[in-house]
Structure formats: structure tokens, C-alpha cells
Amino acid sequence: MMDSNECRRAVAAKWSNVDYRSLGTDNYDSSASSTDIEENVRPIKRLKQEVIDLTSDDENQEEDISSPFKLVKSDVYDSNVNSAHFITFKEIFGDKRLKKSILFSFQYELDFLLEQFYSGVREIVIVAQKGTIRPCTTQKGISMVDRLSVIEFFMPQYTCHHSKMILNLYDDGSCKMFLPSNNFTYAEANYPQQVCWCSPNLPPSRSGYTEGASEFHDDLIEYLKVYHNKEIVQKIVKDVKLLDFTPLKDVTFIFSAPTKDLTTGFQLLSQRLSDHRKPAESKNSTNHYLCQTSTLGAAISKKTHANLFTHVFIPILHGITSLKSKLVDTETLGGLYRAHNITPYIVYPTVEEIRTSPVGWLCSGWFHFNYNRDMAHYNMLAEELSVFYKQDPKFLSANRKATPSHSKFYMKSTISDDSNPFNNLDWCLYTSANLSLTAWGSGTARPRNYEAGVLYKSGRKPLVCKSFTNVVYKTSRQEIVSDNSQIVLVPFTLPVVKYETAQDEAFCMAKDYNLLDIHGIPYQHH
């Protein structure tokens, strides 16, 4: 039997033989986030800013707002800012009560990840597709190798294990669940904006797992079983079954998985939102559907250049068409939008937002939209449906400016007056799933990725949406929120504003930009 030192050496040797730089080439998927950025970008200097303490002001009301959504604090942007709405990975993994941590992600940089952990943690379980773990080289990382359990599996070409999820098990038998929008790499945690959903404390169950007692619990276990992996059953499902998920009774777990045995992806989302379809509305109400994403996949029809969000998501979720309906052409779709007072929004960064972000072009590596190969798809979205929106320059913070977010939010708002849409929501989905067929599937096609997210719906409690930009950085007057509200915090300004057609252009990963960023650095393809 190996001693711990031999174990460490054996595992380190195995990892050192993996060609991690090959990621994103042969196995690249448009819905995956590429974080294979050269190591020389890591030591970027922190921004020089005056110290701001937003938690010490008596007039500050941010503490009155409680939300499960936190903004991942960045070493680059936020070294001078304190806020209750930040979270760090030191906080997530550095808890001295932490006994076991279970991680799901697309990429792991062990040098970064293991530095965040409480040194007394007993076990760290990593679920990953093969070829997505960068080995550890630091003294602390190597010293913790014997506590790692790595569950690796193969994914077919152009698909990926894209879920981002943490299950932290504590010494009292309780658990907290986290869904970060970033993979576990230093650059991805610090350069684009990132969000983390945090569950309430999940206590140990007094009676054990009972199917049907909690929809969230049932769906999470179904998701874990879809891997068809004995190690996941032994090391994860067993622990999850010992928990009480009653604190998440108002939240729905939405996931994608490459399986024919379960309803997942968009079909699952449609099923869970069936009670929110309103085929007949008042003429005075307007219906707003928003998608904020870091990747826009290709058109879902080469013939019509149809888009997954505009041509599938909105018509089906609104009850205009069904899961089995044929795609409608864009002209017909425009007529349906007008008849039902529907406005679509896709929040995606412009070239200028990325170029002028505090880290300049360095931010571009996480945003994927290759419309060079299908300009008709882009023109349809930009001109015929006019769906592109950006952050409002009037409400940007000095710290982050228009730095785009790597998060993925899908939401609907119905309003009957001239108030800003998305202040009050019908529903909101936060997920790892980018806007692609691979991530979601469609009305008839099934997804091919693993994805995970949480869905909130208005009902017993109103669903209110606020911007981190406002709540943390006070870029506009804060409105009072009812104590009974469910609060979603998003990493973009509210309101968002339309692209200015004369100057705004969605960032394209395949274009050459002959522009220097704010640091005087030219653009380079990632």
C-alpha cells in the first residue's frame, strides 16, 4: 500500500503527462468558456483607486437587501471595496468547519483552487471531463493531493461538462450549495465579472431521503445519477441523500445532461414554467424576455438563420407555439411579437465594452460569438429583431466600468406601465448554460452538455431584480425593497440600453480588431 508521499507523487506524475494546452481545439464547443490564457497575464496589476468602504456608511442600505446571489470579489477590481454582497473562494473553501467539498466544473487550475482551501479539509472530490485539470505545482497544492478524489470521464467531441457546482459538507452534517459562474481558474475568477448563487444552510435530514418530499432534492439526485458513474453514487449521491432540502422549497433545480432517459435542458425548463405561460394578456401589458450570456451559439437553422432564444425559447415559454411546433420564420415571428407585446433582449458585450474594460482585451477570451461565418444570423438579430442590449454608461461603476459578465441569466418581466422592465420579474433562471443547442437542446432535440442552474418564480413572494452595480457601488438611488421579496442581483446595469446601431457591434471572437485597448495593447485571438 502506498504511503501519502508516494500517492502524491503518483498522482502528480499522472497529471503532468496530460496535454492541457490541447483544450479548446479538437474538443472545443461553442458553449464552453475558453480559459486557456497564457500564464503571463496572471500577475496583472491591481487598479489604482481610492479606498471605498461601502459598509461603514450609516446611510447605506445595502445590508437591508438579502439575496442568494453574490458578486465574486475580484483581485483586480475590488481590492479597495468592502460589501456584504461580495463573496470570495477563500470564504467558500476556507471555512474551518468544512469536512468535504465536492466540485463540478469545466476547468480546474489546481494551483489556484487548492490555495483557497482550509488546510484541515478531509476530502476534496473533483468531477471533471478528461483533460480539463491543470496539475498543481505549489507546495500547498502538492501537500493536499492525497485528499483529492478525481472522478474523470470522457466527453464526445464538441460537448463538455460545463456544470459549475460546489457541495460543501460540514462537520455538523449540514451542507451548503454554491453555483459560481466561473470555472476554477485564477484568470476566470478575476477578469470578467462573475456571480455565485449560495444556498441556505441545508441541515442533515432526520428521516433520510424520501422521494417526492422535495422537488429540488429529487432533481439533484436525478442529475447525479445521469452520470452513470459508480464513484459519483458512492462519494456524492450517498451524502446528498442524507440532507434536508426543505430550505429550497421555493427554488427549482434546472439541469442539462446527455441522456434520453430524463427530460432535461430546455424541455425541462419549459415543463417547470408551464404555470407561467400566458397566451392571452391584456393589451396594456408588455412582455419582456431577457437572455444575458457569454456565448451565442450558431443559428439553429442554416436555411432561416433562426436563433434559439428568439425562435424557440420565447415562443414556447410564452405559449405561442409548443415543443413540437415547427420553427416560424423571422417575419412571422416579428408579427407574433407585436401581437403579444413581446420585446426580446440579448445582453452581450460590444467590442467597445471589452476594449475599454479595466483589463482591456484580456477580457475577450470568455466571450464567444462567431458570426463571421453567418452574417445573416447576426443581421437578423441586430436589425430585423433588434435584440442586442448593453450596459447603460450612465450607471457604470468606476471600478468595473462595462466589464462584461461570464454569467448566464434568463428572465421574463411583465409590466403594465412605463416602469423599467426587469425590476419585477415573473421568473428568473441563473445557470451555467450558454445560449447554444449543445447546452440546451430545443423543443425536440436533447442537450449534449452537462449544465446546472436554479430557477426562481414569482408567486407567494414577489421576485425583484437589482443590479450589483447599483447595490454595491451606489451608481443610482436605491429603491426600498419589501422584506417579503425574493431578490435576484445581476452583474449588469438596470436598465440595459439598446445598441447604438451606428457604432455598437457585438464582439466576435473570430474577427480581427485593429484597435488598441485602454492599455495600448493590440487584440489577439484566443
Catalytic option among 85, 340, 377, 406 = 406
**CA distance readout (Å), 469 to 87, 408, 409, 429, 495:** 15, 17, 16, 20, 11
Catalytic option among 162, 288, 305, 368 = 162
The secondary structure of the chain in percent helix, strand, coil, rounded to multiples of 5, reads 25, 25, 50
From 289, 241, 285, select the one nearest 269 (Cα to Cα): 289
Active-site residue, 305 included: no
From 410, 487, 405, select the one nearest 181 (Cα to Cα): 405
Phi–psi pair at 187, nearest 5 degrees: -60, -45
**CA distance readout (Å), 294 to 267, 358, 409:** 22, 18, 10
CA distance 483 to 146: 46
Active-site residue, 162 included: yes
Sign of the Cα pseudo-torsion (396, 397, 403, 406, in order): negative
Strands 52-53 and 81-82: parallel
Phi–psi pair at 521, nearest 5 degrees: -100, 135
User: Can you give 336-386 as a three-state secondary structure string?
Assistant: HHHHCCEEEEEECCEHHHHHCCCCHHHHHHHCECCHHHCHHHHHHHHHHCC
DSSP, residue by residue, 496-520: EEE--TTT--B--TTS----B-TTS
Grid cell 425574493 is found at 486
The 10 Å CB-count burial string (b at 16+, else e) for 276-297 is: beeeebeeeebbbbbbbbbbbb
For 385, the grid coordinates are: 429583431
The number of angstroms, rounded, from the C-alpha of 189 to the middle of its chain's C-alpha atoms is 12
Active-site positions read 162, 406
